[in-house]
Amino acid sequence: MLAPGMVCSGVMGTARKITVEVPPELLEKAQRASGSGIAQTVRAGLQLVAASQAYARLGQFRGKVRFAHTSAELKADR
């Protein structure tokens, strides 16, 4: 399960096999949240960590971006 806006690219062929020690409770909790197996849960977690920097940069624009159209104009354009 991917977060909104995430794109799953092909992992086979370019993937690296790693060994990681993870507390069992954390892995179980993450798997329940993702509804996926171990490998897909770890991939989703890594994607979220990688995306967090982009989210932080976007957050810096909060309140600083001016739109050319009002919200009413945007709604009318639907």
Show me where the domains of the chain are located: 1-78
Q: Can you state the angle between helices 38-59 and 24-34, rounded to 10 degrees? A: 80
Per-residue pLDDT, 10 = 55
Q: Which residue, 61, 23, 21, 30, is CA-closest to 48?
A: 30
Rounded distance, CA 33 to CA 53, Å? Answer: 22
Which tens digits make up the pLDDT trace of 22-72?
Answer: 999 999 999 999 999 999 999 999 999 999 988 888 888 888 878 788 888
How confident is the model at residue 29, as a pLDDT?
97
pLDDT at 28: 97
Q: In the structure, what pLDDT confidence band is assigned to residue 11 with cuts at 50, 70 and 90? A: low
